[in-house]
Structures are given as C-alpha cells and as structure tokens.
Structure 1
Amino acid sequence: MVSRKKKNSWKRWIKWIGFSAVLGLLALFSFYLSVRWEIWEPLPSSEQLADIKQSQATEVYARGGELIGKYFIFDRQPVTFEEIPKHLIEALIATEDARFYEHNGVDRRSLLRVIFKSILMGDESAGGGSTLSQQLIKNLYPRKDHGIFSMPVSKIKEAICATRLEKLYSKEEIITLYLNTVPFGDNTYGVESAAEKFFGKRTEDLTLEESAVIVGMLKASHSYNPRLFPERSVSRRNTVLAQMERYGYLMNEQRQIASKKPLKLSYKSFSHEDGLAPYFRASLQKKLEKWLKEYNKENNTDLNLFTSGLKIYTTLDYNLQQMAEEALAEHLSSLQDEFEDSYGRRAPWLMNNTIIQDAVRKSDYYKKLKAQKLTEKQIEDSLKLKRPMELWDWDGSRVVQASHLDSVKHYLKFLQGGALSVDPFTGAVRTWVGGINFEHFQYDHVSMAKRQVGSTFKPIVYAAALEKGAKPCDYYSGQQVTYANYDNWTATNSGGESYDLNYAMKTALSKSINTVAVKVMEDAGIPEIIDLAHRMGIESDIPYVPSIALGTAEMNMLELAKAYTSFINFGKPAKPYFIQKIEDNKGKELAQFKPEVAETPVFSEENRQAMIEMMKGTVAEGTAQRLRWKYGLSNDIAGKTGTTQDNKDGWFVALTPRLITITWVGSDDHRIGFRTTAMGQGANSALPIYALFQQKMNRSTDHQSIAYARFSPPSTRVLNLMNCAPEKEAGFLRRIFVNTDKPKTTRLEIDSTAVETPKKEGLFKKIGNIFKKKNKKDN
C-alpha cells in the first residue's frame, strides 16, 4: 500500500514536471513569438538590413592631403574587407566568435544558456554567447529598456535579426560591417578610426600586437582603453593572443614573441578641442553648416556634417600650421611670465573687482547657479567653495584645490594671440591660429575679434596719399599739432617721444611717427582714405575722425589680410578663403571654391612698388629692425608694426613675395593691457611670433620656395623717387620763430577733396604753411 502511494506520488511529480516543462516551453515559444511579432518593439526588416546606412564622420584635409580633423557624432570611418589584415580578422574570431564560419548567425547553445539564466534565474549579467552577427545588430540597433525583460527581449531580437542578416550578407561582409560599426573607446567607432586614433596609422598597416590591442578593447572599451589603462590593455592583448594560439591561428613561439613586446601608442585626437588647427576647424564648421543648409535646400538632399561622411579639402598648409602654432606658444609662454611679473600682486585680474565680477557673471557656472534661483549669498558661497579642479597653464594641466572664483582669476591673466597667413595672389589661407588653447579659450581672434589695428592701418593712409600725388620723399614736420575742431585732440608719438625734424614720408612710415601720419592723412583726405580702405577689402565701419590715421578703426584679421594682399598682388585685393572642394562619402564632388580676386587694381603699380619699398624700410631701419639683428632673418620681408592706445593690442604684418602673415597679441578683456610700451609694442609682443615662424620656415626643406622668395626689383623711377635723405632739420627761420616745445593748434579740414597735388615750395612759403600739417608715430 505504501509503495503504491509512493508510486502515485512519483507519477504526480513526473506529470507536474512534464506539465511545467511543456508550459515553460510554451512560455518560451510564446515569448519568442511576442518578440518576433514586434509586440515589444519594431524589428528591422530584411529590406532595412539590406540597406544599412552607417553614421560616418566628415573628414577635413589640409592642402597636401593630410587629415587635420573630423566632425562626428560617432567617430567612424569605413574600410573594405581587403584593407583588414588577416591577423586582425583571426584575432576577432578567436576572441569573440570561434564558430563564426559554422553557424547561421546564432550560436544556439550559448543563446539558450543566456535565456535560461536571464528568465528563470533573473541573472541580468548572464550575458555572453552573442555571435558577431548578433553583436553587429546590437551596434546598429541599440537595445531598449523593457524592465526585467530587457535582456531576453534584446537577445531574441538580435538572434532573429542575425539570421536575417546572414541570409543577406556573406561572412566577409558581416566582418566588415562589424568592424566598421563597433565602439572602441574615446568616442571612436569603427576599426579605421581606432587605428588612426590609437596608433596613428591605417587599419591595413596594423601589426599583430596592435590588432590584438584593438580586439581586446571589445570586451570593455573603457576598461581596456590603452591610453587610460595601458597595463590592463597589455594583459587583455595577451589574452587575445592566447585565444589565437588556442584556435590554431598562431604558433606558440609567435604568441610568446608578440606577448613580450611593449605597448607603443601614437595617440591622435580629432575632437574639436584637440589636434591641429582647432580654431580653424570651428570656423570651418560654421561655414560648412551654412553651406549645407543652402545645398540641401537647392538639391533636395539631407546631408549632415556629422553623419554623412563628407570629405572637406581645405587650403590650410599642414606643416606651416604646425609651425605657426608652435611659434605662438613659444613666444607667449615666455611673454606671459614677463607680463605677470610686471604687475606683481597688484594685477587687475587679482585686484580689480569690476573686471573680476564681469568675468564671473559671464561664466557658465555662475549662469547655472543663477538659473537655480539661488540667492546672491548662496551663489557667492558656491563660487568660493574650494574643490579639486584642473587648471591649465603653459606648463600643462594640473589638479589643484581651487574655487570657481580662483579659476576665473586664473584664466583672466592670460595673454591671447592670433596668427593668420594667406597666399597674397589667391587669398588661400595657409595658417589660422585663433588663440592659445581652444579647450579653455574658444573665442577666435582671427575671425570673431574686432580690435583696433594701430599703425598697421598707416600703409593704407600712405597709399591714399601717394594716389593723391604725394611722393615718398616729401618731407613733413614731426611737430605735434592740436586740432581745435576735434576737442583739442593731439596726435602724440609712442612713449611721448618728440620728433622735431622734417621727415621723408618713407622714413615716417618705417619709424611709425604718429605726428607725421596725421599730416599725411590731411593731404590724402579722410574720404579718400576710407574709400581706399573699403576697396582694399576692409568691410568694417571706419570712423570719420583724424585718429583713423593712427589705427583707431576696429576690424578682424581676415579684413586686414585682404587689404594687404593688394600690396603684393599688383594692387588687386584677394579675399581670404579656406575651402577648396567638398566631396560626398563616395568621392563625388559637390562643390568647388575658387579665389575671389579684384579685377582692377586699387592703386597704381608705381605706388604699389613704392609702398613695398617703404615697408621694406620698416624692417631695414624702422620699428621691425629686430627681425634682422635679433632673429637673424635675411629673407626679403616688408612689414608694419602696430600698437594701440595704452598698449592694449600689439600687431605685426609681414609681407613676403609669396606669403602674408599677420600676428596679434593682447588680452581678451580690453581693460587689461601691458604696463609699458616697451613690453606691449607690436615689435615686442606680436613681431616675435612671426620671427619664430619664419625661422622654422627657413629650416623646412619643403617650404624653401616660400621662405626664400625674392621681391621683384622696383622700376628705376620708383628707385629714384625713394632716393633722398631720411630726415632734415627745419629751416633757420622756423627754428627761430617756432617754439617746438608746445603743440600747435589748428583746425583739421574734413572736406579735403579739393586738396591739390603737393608742389615744391620755397623757404618762406614753407614757413607760412608750417601749421597746415600734423603728425604722429606707431609701434
């Protein structure tokens, strides 16, 4: 009786187990069907899988074909199967999917194990078991959140889609798609981008060890990132090599040799903050986004700068850009120390509360606190709260205990700089340095900043005077003049220096004498100067005041560069441009950009040659002499220095036969200037950047044709026009009757359209007209 009861009990248990198993299988099958019937989420159809479109980074190239940066959401560039090394494919299969060539997209044993653990045991970390095809689906169609069912739903979805995928693509095509989409860390997607970023080379050039490092990252792209965790990366690399030996892809001796090799990275970042020419790429991005908006509208397309894989070919010279960035950093890192030492503890970034508070209120952190509706006292406490913070300076970045207020003061002190080089005949931009560090200072001083240009405007004034009939050897008094109809405004020379002689125009320009410049302006006429400036390429408004002769007008570097191209390009200004052509991801040309050069000269060839000779004088015996005696430059260089009021801005424009370079130095906050003219003058603050740049160019074997180009000799007539003494003393009667200790007062005639061409004058007429002119100098 007892045994019969036991028998019945066992039968019930067997029935219950069998019934439960059937129910479980039905539940699993129903769950599978629920996913397949898209109850949880839509599945990609076979048609969609057959037309996989991947997000591709847009690449930016220098004129020589060098990659200088990318625009991307995911940093991804595709490669073909033929470009993938055999050992990379073997490393991938041995590590991620050993039966890849045997299954149809799903490794059923692994899949059942994962589903069983996930559903019955609630183990969401069960993971694993995914084939390359399933992982590819996961990369292409990210998983969604379905609560506790997220893992099984995702696994079944990926299994279904993987089998569809294998019917559409060959094994080789799946490997290629997988390697072009998989994430590798540092926001890098695709093996080509990973190879470029971590090893600085193409996928096809990867070694066995490098391929193992890249495949090793697939397990955990952050944890095995070779830049962040080199020891972990090497350990994981060796695991990959061991897997390759296990499955017969490597001999034991090969694995041992490869495992002992050190990790060697050649890391290249193509983020917007890092890499070559970040300010240039930021300005280029704005230009491209505007162009794409118009192109898509006109052509009914939906191209995207960050996902469409465009190829942008620019005019930038890769090597020259490197030289310019290095030159600016070398000079400003040194000048920064002198600048800070000159102020000491009384520096405006430490003591001037108005400047400090203005900077605080502009900061994102302050705006965030304000948006939280905090009181001013709470905001003040937060601003003063010290915490670990990374601060940058010219020695690098370091983590210190500092408050946000400390950070604001720290970054206020930095001098900024800019450099721009253009081809004078086409306007093609060759270098573009918009600041000292894009991560911390994103304001671009090439395209965005409008600053007073100081005496770099004087060549325009002098060119207008030559066009009006003046000659390089016309003499002007260096005496100061006060203009009654301009609030008793007086043009003074740099440092208050007195110039009591009569100076030839050519000398006054080379020595940048302000008092003479204003008198030259009188002879040229303010309307004529403004008109010439606009025809030369200055688009900004130019104030109708006599101080424009000293460069009080504000403009950006691109405008100034265009104006100066006129002096090299036979009087025809060339507009700066920086895009050569744009191609789509298949290499089809979408647009080509041509130089924009004026058809007619803005001044005569004779006057152009005269201006070049006069600006050569700036380098030979004027304010830019240090190019010769300090930096040892014997190149053909013409130029002009510039310094603005209270030493706020320092400028230098260098003209060579094949390149125009403009450099600028100053502070982002215009209220902070150099303490002394000796330190802040353009010859000391901005000129050295160009000097170091030219030195580097001289040493470059690839740029000899630019560095050592020679100016064409001027005509005999121009040489004769330049043949005079640089200066001469005032006449005997003037020395007797004129008190040169006081500036003379006159009224500046604005309507100077009726001014006649200067004629030779006798001694007494000169004495009678001595007050008609006026003068000034630059640095």
Structure 2
Amino acid sequence: MRALERVRHPTRRGVALTLAAVPALVLLYVLVLIPFTPGIGDIRKAKLEQPAQVISADGKLLATFKPSNREWVKLTDISPHVIDALISTEDHRFYEHHGIDWKRTASAALQTFSGDRQGGSTITQQLARNLYPDEIGRAPTLTRKIKEAITAFKIEAVYTKSEILETYLNTVPFLYNAYGIEMAARTYFDKSAHDLTVLESATLIGMLKGNSYYNPVINPDRALQRRNIVLAQMVKYQRLAPATYQTLQRRSLAIDFERQTEPPGPAPHFAQQLRKWLIGWADANDYNIYSDGLVVRTTIDSRLQTMATQALSWQGNQLQSIANSVWGTRNACAAHKDVFNAFVRETPEYRDAKQSGLADDAALKQVESDRHLMQKLCDDKTRVQAAFVAIDPRNGQIKAWVGSRDFGDDPYDHVSQARRQPGSTFKPFVYGAAFENGAKPDDTFVDQPVEITLAGGEIWKPTDDTPPSGRPVTLRDALAYSKNRITAQLMEEVGPSKVARLAYAMGVRDSRLDAVPSLALGTSPVTLKEMVSSYGTIADRGAYVAPMFATRIEDRAGNVLAEFQPARAEQTLPPIAAQTLLDVMRDVVDKGTGSAIRTRFGIRADVAGKTGTTQDDADGWFILMHPQLVAGAWVGFNDSRVTLRSDYWGQGAHSALPIVGDFFQRALRSRLVDPRAKFVEEPETSVFASLRATLDGWWTRLFGEQKKPASLKEKEGSRTPRRTTAQALAPSPAPSPAPALAEPRDGEPAQIVTPHGASMPPLLSPPGSHGAQGAASASGTAVAGAPPGSQSTSALQAGAAPGTPPTPQTSLDQWIDQRMNTPDAGASRTPASGPVAPQ
C-alpha cells in the first residue's frame, strides 16, 4: 500500500531519483555493450587492410586473396564529385561531428515516432556497419544502434576524416559483386573512379539508399529520380551551381554496364589450392589472409607456368576441333544420339517431364525441343579437358600447375581433384617391383595369350594391338612398346600386393589401389599429381620427396613469419632398381611409344618417360622425367563416356604427349631447364651385389634361361640387406575378391571377361594427414599444415601433400598395411573436398 501511495503522490526526491535512474540505466547498458563491439586494435587493423599476395619463385605476382571483388583506391584517386555527392546526401555535417550527428539523430527519432521512419546514421556509422556486419548487425533495434554508435566513436578516435571517407568509399557494397567505388565505376560506367563525372557520381551515390531499388540497370526511372535528388542536395549545400543543376537534371543516365569478374591470374588452380592451405595456417597462427598483408613465396616459376599454359591451350584447341567434328556439336551432338540421349535423361528437365506423367520418348522429345538447352548440354559434355603439372624431383617443388583448359569455364582442378585410370603410365610400378626383386632388363617373357583367373572366378585376358608372336620379349622392350601381355605375366610373378605397396610408397598417397592383376595396366584411378610425384621418385633414384608449393611466408614489412624446407626424403625403391627402371624408360622416348619427344619435338636431353591410354581412349597420359624437372599431362573429358573415338588421337602419345613435349621444348630452349643435365648413375658396389651379378652371369652362360631360379632372385617376402620402407616384412595377404576394372591400354584393344565398376574401399587417412604432414624433426620443428596449436616454431617443414608418411606414431609400412587390409566399403572415387595441406 505504501508503494502505491508513493506512486500516486511522488515526492520531489523520488522524482529526481527516477529521472536520474533513466540515464544511469542507459549508461550501464552502453557499458555492457562495449565489450561486444570491435576493439581499437581491430579497427586499426581494418584501417590498414591489405590482402595476402602470392608471389612466384621468380618474383612475379600470381594472385591476391581479396575477400570480395574490390580494388582499393586512395581518396586522392577518387573524383571530387563523388565526395561532394556523398557528403551532401548522406552526412552534410560530416566534418563537424565525432561519429554521431546528434541533431540528425534527434530529428530522425522524432520523424520515426510520428510514423515516418527516418535514418539518422552518419557516414562513420555506416562504415561501422560495413566493416563489422557480424559484430554490429543490421536489425532495426536499439541494441544495434548503440553498438553502431560505440563503434563509430572508436573509428573517429582512430581514423582521420579523410581516412574515414577513403575506407567508406572502398568498402561500400554495390550490386553485381562490385565492392567499393572503383569497381562500381567500372561496372556501371566502364571507367575508373578518378574519371567519374558529376552525373555519374550522383547516380552511384544515389544507389546507397537502396542498391536494388535504385539499380540503374533494372530500374532506370527510379535511379534517374534518385540521381536528381542527389544533385539537388549538392545544390542545397553549395557543392553544385543551380544553373548547372538545371542543365544536368534533364540528361539521361548513360549507363555503360559490364559485370566485373576477378581476373583468374596466371595460376588460378594452384592459387585455389594455396588459399585453402593458407587459411588453415593463418587461423593457427592468428593471422588474417585478407587484411594482414601476408606475402607467400611459392615454388611456382611464372615463366614455366606460362609455357605450360600455352602448351596446354594449344593442344587443347587442336583436340577440341577433332571432338567437335566427331560428336557433331554444331547440331547438338547429333552424331552419337544414343549416348547423348543418356545425357538428356540425367537432366532435371527430363526428370520433371517424367514426373509430370510423360513416357520416355515423349519426355525426350519435350526436352530436345529446347534447342538452347540441348546445345549447351552438348558443348558441356564434349569440352576437351586437360591438366598439367611439373615438379622438381630433387626437392619436390611444384614449378607449374594447370588444372584445366580454362579456369572460367571449368574451375575443377584435374591435377589434384580428378581421379582417372592412369593406363600404362602405371606399368613402371610393376617393372620397378620386378627390378627390386632382382629381375634384369634383358630378362624375357614369351609373347603369348594370357588368361588369369581372378579371385571371383572371372577370367582376365589382356591383349595388345598385335596378335601374339610366340617369341620372347625382353622387359626393356615390353615397357618401351607398352606390351600388355608381357606386363600381365610380370605382374603374376611379382604379385599385385607388392606392386600396390610400391606405388603407395613412391607417391600414390591419396588414392586407393585395388591389389588385383589388372592393376598392372592402371585400372585404379589416381590423380595426375600423384603420378608425377611418383615419377619424381624414379628420377631421384628411388627417393620420394613430398610435393611442396610454399617456401616462406612474410609480413607486409618483409619479416619472415614461417620458412618451409623440402620434406625429408624417403628411400622407397633401392637406388640400383630405380636406376635400372629409369634406364629402361629412356627407351620409351628413344624408340618406343613416346618417341615423338625425339622425332617431333627434337628434345635431345637426357629424358625418360611413359605414355598411357585407357579403355576406349577415355584418358590419355604422358609423363616425362628430366634430372631437374618431371612433367606430366592428362587429356580427356569430364564425363568418361565421351571420348575422341579415334584410335590415333585418343592415344596418350598423340593427345597428352604434345603438351609435355611442347612445354619441355620451350623450357630447354630458354635454359630454364638445363639441356646438358644428366641423371646421376652410380654402380652398386656392395659385395652382395657383385656376387649376385657374377652368379647371374654364370647361370645365363650355362643354361641360357630367360628367368633366374628362385635362389638367385628375391621372391616376394624375401629381403636383402638393402631393405627399403616400401617392402613388406612378409607376403601380404591376398586381397579381398574384387572384379577387375576396364582394361587400359596404349592404343590396342583389350578383352575383359568380368563385370566393370568394382567398388572402392574408403580412403584412409595416411599418417600425417589432418595433422603434421611428414615427420617432424627431432628438435620439435612443427610441420606445415598441422592443426591449430601444433606449430611451435616458424621454421616449418615443407608443405607436404595430404597423407605424407611417416609420422612418429605410424610408419610407412604400417600405413600401407592399414590401407591395403581395409575392407571394401564401396566409397565413391570422387575427390574429397575441404582444406588441404600444401600440394
């Protein structure tokens, strides 16, 4: 009762206390909100915003990591008409207040209370919203307005008025992915912000009240009216003469519209891979790639990158003209209607037609009546794709990376994302395993029909483009001329498990290999990066070095924040076996399937390589090794049902080889790659090796056998003193039954008596993936790509590919055992997405 009485009859003291309590509560609320607004340090950082730059090994800019399509320009490089229009329209007392215009705020509040909602934000308050949309928000609430006011005061304490204007004009959003006045000027008037006229300036500033509502492209009448209001405001505040206004208000908008796209740069796929990794590194080390001015020094050589891009573009255009004629692209793929109908049945339009109740023929006819849709589908399906990557085998540094013919048309990265059957480029793993077991290049197998019974009872019959001759063929010639029957017999002797283990160890670290006999001919899909990295192991005498693409990271002042060294080399194939394999692969380019390297491109350097072609010419491969550089190319289509349908152009020797040949020809002529460099060859001098060679010679002279007895060579599971990490302690268990996949070949038909499309076990995370990539040094040096908090020093190990073994916890042998013995779970072969470690 007393409380009610006090309310009815308040005392003077009570009224005073009540009046004092209101601002006290407001002040308390403001103090509570201060910690939830950006700090002074964040505001200073935003003031100096500078995106990360990616620099090539030879000092050229490869990419700039901007948060949006924006180009920052200084205030002095912006037309003064823009500034006059902005201040006259948005904040005419800009130079008089300190973040909040109290007069305008009070007027806006009165207008809002009377039912006519008005905005009272100053330019500084708008800048606060633009810079910190998450912290402040955009909801029309009192809390948002207070946060905005607090942040505006902080900005005024850090920025000068000129800096506020410059930052505002460079961060304000316009439509069509244009941020800042410079990109807006280019988008709507095809000129720089420096050259904007009074009318153009008024048009752009008028859009700030509502970009969509006053869009001069879609709503020109509204935009014209709004522009004239801006001009009138300029007259009102004496920034435009009345006579000039009378003349200008009658003129049209004169829009010259063109969407602005961010230039992809010379190595866009490489930059995308680097961006993913750099974001993880920056998060772990408390940096922002968009504002801290990081400078990333990479391994890419811009000159080699240009050569690779030109070579791929040139060959891609040649092959595209062939594809167009084969598929009849001028008439929506009319040349192969049966295959194209399968593509049509996969479209949403066809599914909608079927769901509406139409029969198959009627649904096809309805969809095919849309000529534009059919032509686009045909063009998309028959667009030839290609990829190229070059790696220095001595240190794993990636020197060139081209992920597709055109990043704008196809941003999908065919170097590290696309998994395709490698065909005969996989055969060196078979021969390498054989040479490791003691086989010699002059050992022979009879060229005869081969039938191999698979685990499920199917019969695999590998064939060549010529009938069996019944004559002995040396391993050297079998690899040089890519003989499938000989390779299949060698695979039987070596064993699929050993070949798979060796391939994993030499560089196939991301893809799953099915340890079945047809693996010898490349039936398990892999990436181009894995294959080129593996060939780098051959070129470096059996030592695998994980690919890397960053050498160091600097701040904007040039101080080194992190430095990366090549990953620790892993001896995965004995040097003498790798040396023998390399020598045999020289014959591929000297006289075999890759001889065009010599005859067509005139390359006389010490090189070795291998071609590859898969079933129905779906994939063409070629990889060439030089002591200083290993480069490989893949050619095909995104949909493997589409091929060039040519026994000539479909072969890797004619589709992929010209890309590598043209690249190497340019690189050697420019002396970026030394044409006189030779592979290091050192004879094995151990007592065991000498004794083995002597016994081999005696046996050959006495018996003339093409195969050595078991006692004179290493069987699978036996070991020599030169044990490598790729070898198993004992013969691996037989793989779980799995049908062989389609038979790859080098231009010759193949016969597979087995179902296609065997399922694939899920990819295992190799030791080091999603953690420290590669082994950390004993001193505790952390590794690039490690999770947040794991990097204890700036001297980081070289960026290693995902899955680079070993780690202190898991050895390479253990990891391979785990991968090979994991049961098949039917996982898709499509590449995984998400951040990756340096590639």
Tell me, yes or no, whether TM beats 0.5: yes
Is 2:52–2:292's contact at 8 Å kept on the other side of the alignment?
no
Aligned to 1:59: 52
Aligned to 2:613: 643
Is 1:482–1:491's contact at 8 Å kept on the other side of the alignment?
yes
- Higher Cα radius of gyration: 1
Q: Secondary structure at the match of 1:554?
A: coil
Match of 1:332 among 300, 304, 316: 316
| In structure 1, distance between residues paired with 2:567 and 2:583 | 26
| In structure 1, distance between residues paired with 2:339 and 2:186 | 47
Per-residue deviation at 1:525? 5.2
Change in CA separation of 1:451 and 1:619 when aligned onto 2, cut-off 3 Å = same
Change in CA separation of 1:187 and 1:586 when aligned onto 2, cut-off 3 Å = farther
Range with bigger deviation, 100-109 or 706-715: 100-109
Trace 1:503-582 onto structure 2 (pairs within 5 A): 503-521=473-491, 524=494, 526-539=496-509, 540-582=511-553
Per-residue deviation at 1:577? 2.4
Change in CA separation of 1:713 and 1:137 when aligned onto 2, cut-off 3 Å = closer
Is 1:639–1:653's contact at 8 Å kept on the other side of the alignment?
yes
Residues 555-605 of structure 1: CA deviation (Å, up to 9, x unaligned): 222221221112222321111122434567887766544322424362224
Trace 1:629-668 onto structure 2 (pairs within 5 A): 629-668=599-638
Per-residue deviation at 1:629? 3.4
Please tell me the residue identity of whatever aligns with 1:446: V
Please tell me the residue identity of whatever aligns with 2:269: Y
| In structure 1, distance between residues paired with 2:147 and 2:443 | 88
Match of 2:400 among 431, 449, 453: 431
Aligned to 2:678: 712
Residues 119-154 of structure 1: CA deviation (Å, up to 9, x unaligned): 879597xx8x9864354345346697788xx9x999
Per-residue deviation at 1:680? 1.0
Match of 2:124 among 107, 129, 133: 133
1:452 correspondence with 2:421:
yes
1:170 correspondence with 2:160:
yes
Change in CA separation of 1:434 and 1:482 when aligned onto 2, cut-off 3 Å = same
Per-residue deviation at 1:686? 1.2
Match of 1:617 among 554, 578, 587: 587
| In structure 1, distance between residues paired with 2:564 and 2:310 | 29
Please tell me the residue identity of whatever aligns with 2:460: W
Aligned to 2:435: 466
Residues 11-43 of structure 1: CA deviation (Å, up to 9, x unaligned): xxxxxxxxxxxxxxxxxxxxxx99998999998
Residues 331-374 of structure 1: CA deviation (Å, up to 9, x unaligned): 223212313423556655754544543x43xx7x889x79xxx9
Aligned to 2:792: none
Change in CA separation of 1:48 and 1:640 when aligned onto 2, cut-off 3 Å = closer
| In structure 1, distance between residues paired with 2:178 and 2:674 | 42
Please tell me the residue identity of whatever aligns with 1:449: A
Q: Secondary structure at the match of 2:634?
A: strand
- How does the TM-score come out when normalised to structure 2? 0.60
Match of 2:74 among 73, 84, 97: 84
Q: Secondary structure at the match of 1:619?
A: helix
Please tell me the residue identity of whatever aligns with 1:418: A
Aligned to 2:649: 679
Per-residue deviation at 1:682? 0.3
| In structure 1, distance between residues paired with 2:551 and 2:706 | 59
- Let me know the Cα RMSD of the aligned residues: 5.8
1:492 correspondence with 2:463:
yes
Aligned to 1:421: 390
| In structure 2, distance between residues paired with 1:247 and 1:387 | 60
| In structure 2, distance between residues paired with 1:215 and 1:600 | 68
Residues 297-351 of structure 1: CA deviation (Å, up to 9, x unaligned): xxxx6x6667877655443333433433343233223212313423556655754
Aligned to 2:571: 600
Please tell me the residue identity of whatever aligns with 1:508: A
| In structure 2, distance between residues paired with 1:659 and 1:266 | 42
| In structure 1, distance between residues paired with 2:496 and 2:567 | 28
Please tell me the residue identity of whatever aligns with 1:444: D
Change in CA separation of 1:35 and 1:120 when aligned onto 2, cut-off 3 Å = farther
Change in CA separation of 1:695 and 1:154 when aligned onto 2, cut-off 3 Å = same
Unpaired runs of 5+ in structure 1?
A: 1-32, 249-262, 389-399, 719-755, 770-775
Q: Secondary structure at the match of 1:679?
A: coil
Residues 382-425 of structure 1: CA deviation (Å, up to 9, x unaligned): 9987899xxxxxxxxxxx9634x664454223333221211211
Q: Compare the two structures and name the one with the higher helix fraction.
A: 1
Q: Secondary structure at the match of 2:610?
A: strand
Match of 1:481 among 449, 459, 466: 449
Per-residue deviation at 1:642? 0.7
| In structure 2, distance between residues paired with 1:198 and 1:315 | 39
Identical columns (%): 31
Count residues in correspondence. Answer: 642
Unpaired runs of 5+ in structure 2?
A: 1-22, 241-254, 685-694, 709-743, 748-839
Please tell me the residue identity of whatever aligns with 2:596: R
Residues 658-715 of structure 1: CA deviation (Å, up to 9, x unaligned): 221111112333333342321211011211222333345457xxxx343344332665
Change in CA separation of 1:603 and 1:305 when aligned onto 2, cut-off 3 Å = same
Per-residue deviation at 1:638? 2.2
Is 1:349–1:355's contact at 8 Å kept on the other side of the alignment?
no
Per-residue deviation at 1:428? 1.8
Q: Secondary structure at the match of 2:585?
A: helix
Change in CA separation of 1:376 and 1:580 when aligned onto 2, cut-off 3 Å = farther
Trace 1:233-248 onto structure 2 (pairs within 5 A): none
Change in CA separation of 1:509 and 1:192 when aligned onto 2, cut-off 3 Å = farther
| In structure 2, distance between residues paired with 1:462 and 1:51 | 61
Residues 505-540 of structure 1: CA deviation (Å, up to 9, x unaligned): 433322223333334445655554344333322334
- How does the TM-score come out when normalised to structure 1? 0.64
Is 2:609–2:624's contact at 8 Å kept on the other side of the alignment?
yes
Aligned to 2:640: 670
Change in CA separation of 1:467 and 1:671 when aligned onto 2, cut-off 3 Å = same
Please tell me the residue identity of whatever aligns with 1:574: V
Is 1:63–1:313's contact at 8 Å kept on the other side of the alignment?
yes
Change in CA separation of 1:144 and 1:442 when aligned onto 2, cut-off 3 Å = closer
Change in CA separation of 1:642 and 1:180 when aligned onto 2, cut-off 3 Å = same
| In structure 2, distance between residues paired with 1:102 and 1:455 | 76
Aligned to 2:787: none
